[in-house]
Amino acid sequence: MEGVENPIANSRKAEAEHISSFFLKKNDNLRQHEVVL
């Protein structure tokens, strides 16, 4: 089984990256609003 990628682990990793990038964008939006205020 070595060398074979685990689709479940890959999907969880992709999901984690998607969530983290989503929160990073959200934080950037909050910072922009703070600058406007």
Answering whether pTM is above 0.85, one says no
Cα atoms in the 13 Å half-sphere on the side-chain side of 26: 6
Joined together, the tokens standing for residue 36 give 């406007």
- Chain mean pLDDT for the chain: 81
Structure confidence by residue, pLDDT tens digits, 19-30? 999 888 888 887
Q: Tell me the average pLDDT across 2-20.
A: 85
Q: Which residues have a Cβ under 8 Å from the Cβ of 17 and sit 6 or more positions away?
A: none
More confidently predicted of 34 and 24? 24
Instruction: State residue 27's pLDDT score.
Output: 83
